[in-house]
A and B are shown apart, each in its own frame.
Chain A
């Protein structure tokens, strides 16, 4: 079995894996990274989306061996020092999730979308998230959340920190 070395959410793992092992099963079953769920087996639903070297991939469509030497970020690795990522906060604020099963993948895909386009229009968000299916929300609040997070992430870091302080004060 080929050995792989993968960085996942800031920790390094070395494992021998079957060549056919899917990245999502490696994450879930070997590393206990169960924050990334599986929604289908054909790469359609996007629930298992993670970032590999910053780019979104559907981890059911990547073999664990293909992640060798790469840096994987899952929803569990978002946010520095326990603070939520602006995208996570925006999903909460805009009620962009109901059952929450698609949410990890939707959040990761949305982050990648903003990497490519920091200020997407409503239509660009809808097109950009075409590969991620949600059965609960009808997408409207997901679109709102991505727009909100985009606004948040475009603001200079300083201004953001002050705003956060203000919000934290009751």
Chain B
């Protein structure tokens, strides 16, 4: 047994069922007697509900029950927010089904339970709801103005909280600063769009319930369901079967999940609900949606003095599980990889009559990285420096780690020089710069732009102490247990909850190495609170850096238990045993030995164990990290911009990432690819658009433009490897890196192409129309101010005709 599993490009064990259609999606399950739920959703952004009449719907054939919000008001509770970011945070009640007032289009107002999906959806048409319209609140800045219409009248304001972080003397940094840049960037609202729509099936058994859900967080969901409904935690089992992607959208406690549980209890039968995509676009939480006002002070040589960040973050209509904390995760990332003397961050969470926001891949960090990386390019342009050079003058040198940043984090390791050097070579940076100069000279209608993004992120959420200091409602540890079966086969139980990340493969690689058993002998179990009773689930690029380390420790405990048994069997002292390649041997007597798997059988038989030794090698471990991990990398993007049509074509994209030690390079590369696609999609394609009345106009995949294979370039990916020093595996996390890095790389490239025309910003998504308008605005300066972004804000429907959305909120297919 000499093969090192960690580091090997193992093909995934998950694939066998996924490529053959033998998958266990929640919607694939329907125990005998299952009833189907359909929700009637509000077609109004903001209205008082004056009447819900379910009588006609109840009479339809196949309909078992119909409920309005008032019918469930006594038992449905309020959906949880686990992150009370300030003591005075305003946190309105959030009933799973609206009772008196609706506050976003798509909010559930009634539901039908019927014998099949079609009967349930048909009956929605026979529910009569009367609404008394109230004013929509769509724009964050208007929402904060004096006398603004209120989302929650009883709060007296649309501000949920204002959170401040300051370090260093920003006033001093700004005073007489030779260079001051002020910019306003808009992080448009995005829809996470996991390919598997949400689905939940709740099976009652007496006073106990098994709830299957397409969720990232079975453990957290179980606790929250118990809290919301009052059903004791030990009477609820939550199963996350195969889950088709999440990207943060399934890091949530959804009203539909709570209601499925309550309906199953009421009706005593299994109930199932699976959303349609059009429903999901309205009712799955959205991501991003922030307005950033930034002030950067620098010396003439390009060195940064300080940065001031004023943020407005759209909460949507309610605070969901971690809604208010998401923008604050970015607070510590605005300084990026750079040294500076002062940082000031202020964030105000704002209520609007829109779908609530919450975690979406990167969660706060993409927004921060976008801001600082766009500013670095602006600073370079201002000083007529190469954007790489201005970064070099500011970044933390390889020899300076560990480094305490102005945001108070300690970056344990990193090598920005090596990653950048590698990226520049792969990209052929100098050659592309020469071509750019040539095209500028020739006044080529198709201009070339080069975008740089040198990013870092905080991963491995999170040290429980830190989460506590940020008033988060739980810790950030992770749990693993290792069971050695009598035959020597191994079951790994993890509290992480994979939904595409490949934990069943990567965790088996870690266990195989630590225990010295064949990869094929390891089975990984997860995603079921009855099987894996403890866990903090999967999000924030935490699973490997926290859960993988827990597994590593649990394996070591197994080996230590086995060592005592092996010593007894070999009649040697524990200190004289070597453990290598899965085998204990007496030092100096190589042929005297027992494999760990043989020891497991001896422990199972328990005929001859030393006194005081339990007949089991099974072990578990809970890992709570001391620090975050800090992946980093250098991404370079070359974009061709047609100045006549506004069309942007990505010509090449190079990503050199440093995610520390790699367990499975195949999985790492895949994560980077997918992350890049999502970050590029924010830059070029995607936006959740609301009209002035608060109607979401991008309710379908025809309107919300998830890119296809034809829309994306070939990625060149490579790595440097600077091991994390804060965990024994040396790992950092990779789930979000591509998304965080790529958005500013792409927009920087577009702006770089257009700088000769005076353009210094194009608001995202950089559609052909917006690029074209940015160019024309420069040619006709009396039009909207370039770079301000306001004239091209989120409500201009830049994505073209908005189909299907307005009013069609019945969940019909």
Partner-B contacts on A (CB < 8 A): 18, 20-21, 25, 28-29, 34-42, 44-45, 47, 74-76, 78-79, 84, 88, 91-93, 95, 97-104, 107, 122, 125-127, 129-143
Contacts and interface: CB of A to CB of B under 8 A. Distances in A.
Nearest to A108: B21
Interface string B242-260: 1111010000000000000
Interface in B638-690: 666-667, 669-671, 673-678
A143 B709 contact: yes
Contacts of B18: 97, 100, 103
Contacts of A29: 116-117
B709 A139 contact: yes
26 contacts: A21-B118, A34-B23, A35-B21, A37-B23, A37-B244, A39-B277, A40-B276, A40-B700, A41-B276, A42-B702, A44-B701, A45-B277, A75-B20, A76-B22, A92-B12, A97-B19, A98-B671, A99-B244, A100-B14, A100-B18, A101-B244, A107-B19, A130-B709, A135-B195, A139-B673, A139-B712
Given A91-B19, A103-B19, A132 B708 contact: yes
Contacts of B671: 98
A40 B194 CA distance: 11
Contacts of A21: 118
Contacts of B20: 35, 75-76, 78-79, 84, 88
Contacts of B632: none
B700 A129 contact: no
A130 B195 contact: no
A41 B678 contact: no
Given A42-B277, A44-B702, A125 B709 contact: yes
B677 A100 contact: no
Contacts of B247: 135
Contact of A39 (B28, B196, B702): B196
Given A97-B19, A98-B245, A135-B677, 18 more contacts: A25-B118, A34-B28, A37-B25, A44-B701, A45-B706, A99-B500, A100-B244, A127-B710, A129-B710, A132-B708, A133-B701, A133-B708, A135-B195, A135-B245, A135-B678, A136-B670, A138-B675, A138-B677
Nearest to B716: A140
A45 B708 CA distance: 9
Interchain residue pairs A-B with the least CB separation, the first 3: A35-B21, A100-B18, A99-B500
Contacts of A74: 21
A97 B15 contact: yes
Given A88-B20, A92-B12, A136-B500, A126 B710 contact: yes
A125 B229 CA distance: 50
A92 B674 contact: no
Contacts of B195: 39, 45, 47, 99, 101-102, 133-136
Given A42-B701, A126-B709, A140-B714, A75 B243 contact: no
A145 to B, nearest CB: 10
Max chain A Cβ within 10 angstroms of own Cβ: one of B195, B502, B674: B195
B674 A135 contact: yes
A135 B160 CA distance: 32
B700 A100 contact: no
B234 interface: no
A44 B693 CA distance: 27
B19 A98 contact: no
B278 interface: yes
A10 to B, nearest CB: 14
Contacts of A92: 11-12, 15-16, 19
A29 B710 CA distance: 33
Given A47-B195, A101-B196, A141-B673, A35 B667 contact: no
A25 B117 contact: yes
Nearest to A146: B709
Contacts of B706: 45, 133, 135
Max chain B Cβ within 10 angstroms of own Cβ: one of A35, A91, A95, A99: A99
A18 B61 CA distance: 15
Nearest to A46: B708
Contacts of A34: 21, 23, 25, 27-28
A169 B74 CA distance: 65
Interface string B325-354: 000000000000000000000000000000
B78 interface: no
Contact of A99 (B28, B117, B499, B738): B499
Contacts of B431: none
Contacts of A44: 700-702
Contacts of B22: 35, 76
Given A74-B21, A135-B706, A42 B244 contact: no
B708 A130 contact: yes
A100 B15 contact: yes
Contacts of A75: 19-21
Interface string B166-206: 00000000000000000000000000011111000000000
Contacts of A126: 708-710, 712
B666 A95 contact: yes
A88 B276 contact: no
A2 B28 CA distance: 26
B701 A45 contact: yes
B503 to A, nearest CB: 12
Contact of B715 (A45, A79, A130, A140): A140
Contacts of B394: none
A137 B673 contact: yes
A135 B706 CA distance: 8
A157 B116 CA distance: 46
Contacts of B11: 92-93, 95
B227 interface: no
Contacts of A141: 669-670, 673
Given A42-B701, A76-B21, A138 B15 contact: no
A95 to B, nearest CB: 5
A98 to B, nearest CB: 4
A141 B677 CA distance: 12
B244 A38 contact: no
A147 to B, nearest CB: 12
Contacts of A142: 709
A21 B813 CA distance: 11
A47 B671 CA distance: 20
Contacts of B117: 25, 29
Contacts of B710: 126-127, 129-130
A31 to B, nearest CB: 13
Contacts of A122: 714
Contact of A136 (B16, B28, B669, B674): B674
Contacts of A18: 118
Interface in B695-727: 700-702, 706, 708-710, 712, 714-715
B501 interface: yes
Contacts of A39: 195-197, 277
B718 to A, nearest CB: 14
Max chain B Cβ within 10 angstroms of own Cβ: one of A20, A92, A104, A130: A92
A100 B500 contact: yes
Contacts of B502: 98
B245 A136 contact: yes
B351 to A, nearest CB: 29
Contacts of B274: 38
Given A84-B19, A103-B19, A129-B708, A41 B244 contact: no
Nearest to A82: B20
B152 to A, nearest CB: 32
